[in-house]
Structure 1
Amino acid sequence: MRDGLERLLGTPVDDLTDLGSSHSWTLHRASLADGREVFVKAASASFWGDDPPNPPATASDQEDVFAAEAAGLRWLGEAGPGTPVPEVVAADGGMLVLPWLPSASPTPAAAERLGRELAALHTGARPRAYGAPWDGYIADLPLDNTPDDRGWPRWYAERRLEPFLRRGARHLSSGDVRLVERVMADVEALAGPPEPPSRIHGDLWSGNVLWTGDRAMLIDPAAHGGHRETDLAMMALFGTPHLDRVLAAYDEAAPLADGWRARVPLHQLHPLLVHVALFGGSYRASLVDAARAALG
C-alpha cells in the first residue's frame, strides 16, 4: 500500500501510521517528504495482493466506493468556495487521499458557521435532478443514483426506501415491512411542500462532521441531489454537538418549510434501513418508531 501511495502522489512517504479500519477499507495518516500531512483511506489487504480470509468486499467494489466518494467531494465543492468539504488530493482504484485535518472540540461559533455553510451548500448551485451522475455508495452498500427529475417523494420511496427495505427485510417482521410500505405508499402526502433538488452530503451523521477549530468539515459523503431536510434529519439521528445552534443558523440563512421538524422521522427512515441492512435487528426498534412517527 505504501508503494501505491508514493506512486499516486509522486513523492516519498516518510511515515505511515495505521488508524484502524472501517467497513471494507483501512485508514492511515501519512507524512510526506514534501512536508504535507494527508489522510488515506485504502482498499483492504486483498486489493494489494494479500489474501485474508473472507474479505468483506471485492477489489472492484472498493474501487467503486473510492470513485464515488471522490466524485461526491468534488461535486459538493463545486457549490462554492465556502463549501465545508476537504479537497481531494488524489484518488485511484486503491485509495483516496485527503488533506490531514486536525480535530478540535466543537464550539457554538463553529456550529453556527456550519449551519450557514450548509444552508449555502443546499440552496446554491442546485442540481437539475435527484440522484447523481455516478454510482453511489453509503458505507459499502450501493445507492441507486440514477438521475430522476420527478418529485422527491416517489424518488425517495423508490431509490432509497424500497431497495434497503429489501436488504434489511430478513431482520424485520412482516408487520415491520408493511409499516414501512405504508410510509412509501403515503409518501406524497407526508413529504411536505415541494422542494427543488439540493446538493446534499447524504450521510451526515455526527461521525462525518469533523470539528477543526473555527469550523466543521464534512467528510465521507454519500453525495447526491436530494432533499435538504435529509441532511438535517441525519444530523439529529445520533446527535450532533450544538445542533440547536446549527439549525438556528441554517434556518436564518435559508428558512425551512413549515412542519419540517415533524418530517424528521420520514427522512431518518433511509439511514435506519441502512443500519438494519448493515448491522441487523439492533436497529429494528428505532426503524419502527421512525416509521410510526412519520405516519403521524
Structure 2
Amino acid sequence: MIAAEVARITGREVAEVRRLSGGDTAAAFAVRLDDGTEVFAKSASPSMPGAAAAEAASLRWLAEPGAVPVPEVLGEGEDVLVTEHVAAASPTARAAEELGRGLARLHDAGAPAFGSAPPGGPADAWIGLAPMRDEPERDWPTFYARHRVQPYVRRAIDSGALEAESARVLDRVCEALPELAGPAEPPSRLHGDLWSGNVHWGRDRAWLIDPAAHGGHRETDLAMLHLFGCPHLERIVAAYQEVHPLADGWRERIALHQLFPLLVHAVLFGGGYGTQAARAAGQALRSH
C-alpha cells in the first residue's frame, strides 16, 4: 500500500521500501524511487483523520521563512505524507547554535493570531497521538487556557489520570494566566511539539520534523525542548538569545508552558504524568 501511494504522490515508480524504527504516531519508511532518489514516507493511523494534511501544512508554513531547515513536502494523500529524506548524523554544538538562531527567526516570522492554524491546515490537528484544536483568540492566556489546558484537564479527569484536587490547581492557573504569562508578545510561528525527538540531527544542521505548528507564545517551543532534555540545549538557548532575547523571568515560566504536553501525556500514558502536571501547575503559581 505504501509503495503504491508514494508512486501516486511522486509520479515515480518505487524501487525499494524500508520500514524505519521509531515513532509513535505513524509507520515510517525510507523509499527509493526508480531514479535513485530516496524519500521519506509516513502512513498515519486511520484513527487520526487529517493528520497527513495537518503535518504537510505545518511543514510548509515552517519552511516559508527559510529560517531553519525543514524537510520539503513532496506531496500527501489522505493518510500518507511524503517528504525529502534527511540522513541522520550526530548532534554538534555548531548545529545546535544554528538551530537556536534559526528558531528565533522562525518565531519572529509571526502568525496571524494566537491559535491560528497554518495556511491550508485544518483547525482540528494533532500533537502526537492526541487531538489538538487550533482556534484563534485575542490573546495568549485565553488561547492557552481555552484550547490547550482546560480540554485536557477534562480528558485527564475522565480517564482517571488526574485527581479532582490536582484539577483545581490547574483551574487556578488558568484563572491567573493573565498575571502568570509575563510581558505580552505578538503571536509567534511555533513548531508546536518541539521535544527533543522532533529535532532531527543531520549532517552539519539540525532539522525540525513532526510539527504541530500554530500561532502561539515563543516560550512554548523552548519549554518543550526543556521537557525531556535536548543535546546542547544551553547552546541552543544562548544562540536564540543572540537573535531575540527572551523576556525576563522566562525560565520561571517553563513549567507553565509545559502544562499542555504533560496533560497530553497524562491522557495518553497514565497518571504519573498527571502528577507531574499538577506539580508544574503549583510551580507556576509559586513563581508569580
Q: What's the TM-score bracket when you normalise by the shorter of the two chains?
A: over 0.9
- 2 CA distance for matches of 1:132 and 1:154? 13
Residues 192 and 211 in structure 2, CA contact (< 8 A), matched pair in contact too: yes
2:218 corresponding residue in structure 1: 228
Helix, strand or coil: the match of 2:28? strand
2:231 corresponding residue in structure 1: 241
1:18-42 CA distance string (max 9 Å, x none): 1246445211111111221111111
1:40 corresponding residue in structure 2: 41
- 1 CA distance for matches of 2:275 and 2:152? 16
- 2 CA distance for matches of 1:81 and 1:177? 41
Equivalent of residue 91 in structure 1, options 72, 76, 85: 76
Helix, strand or coil: the match of 2:284? helix
Question: Does residue 283 in structure 1 map to residue 273 in structure 2?
Answer: yes
1:70 corresponding residue in structure 2: 56
Q: 1:77 is matched by which residue type in structure 2?
A: A
1:26 corresponding residue in structure 2: 27
Q: 2:135 is matched by which residue type in structure 1?
A: T
1:110-169 CA distance string (max 9 Å, x none): 110000000000012x11211224222111322111222x11111111111011111111
2:145 corresponding residue in structure 1: 157
Helix, strand or coil: the match of 1:82? coil
2:171 corresponding residue in structure 1: 181
- In structure 2, relative to structure 1, the CA distance for the partners of 1:217 and 1:24 (3 Å cut) is closer
Q: 1:247 is matched by which residue type in structure 2?
A: V
Residues 71 and 85 in structure 2, CA contact (< 8 A), matched pair in contact too: no
Equivalent of residue 93 in structure 2, options 92, 96, 108: 108
Q: Mind listing any 5+ residue stretches in structure 2 that lack a counterpart?
A: none
- 2 CA distance for matches of 1:156 and 1:111? 28
2:136 corresponding residue in structure 1: 147
- Two-structure CA RMSD over aligned residues (Å): 1.3
Q: Mind listing any 5+ residue stretches in structure 1 that lack a counterpart?
A: 48-56
- In structure 2, relative to structure 1, the CA distance for the partners of 1:6 and 1:213 (3 Å cut) is same
After TM superposition, the score normalised by the length of structure 1 is: 0.90
1:81 positional shift:
2.1
1:268-290 CA distance string (max 9 Å, x none): 00110110111111312321221
1:272 corresponding residue in structure 2: 262
1:232-283 CA distance string (max 9 Å, x none): 0000000000000000000111011011010000000011011011111131
- 2 CA distance for matches of 1:178 and 1:82? 40
1:82-130 CA distance string (max 9 Å, x none): 3321111111102001111111111111110000000000012x11211
Helix, strand or coil: the match of 1:286? helix
Equivalent of residue 211 in structure 1, options 182, 185, 201: 201
1:50 corresponding residue in structure 2: none
Helix, strand or coil: the match of 2:258? helix
- 2 CA distance for matches of 1:11 and 1:211? 28
Residues 165 and 177 in structure 1, CA contact (< 8 A), matched pair in contact too: yes
Residues 104 and 212 in structure 1, CA contact (< 8 A), matched pair in contact too: yes
- 2 CA distance for matches of 1:24 and 1:273? 17
1:201 positional shift:
0.3
1:16 positional shift:
0.3
Helix, strand or coil: the match of 1:231? helix
- 1 CA distance for matches of 2:134 and 2:17? 35
Question: Does residue 168 in structure 1 map to residue 180 in structure 2?
Answer: no
Residues 44 and 51 in structure 2, CA contact (< 8 A), matched pair in contact too: no
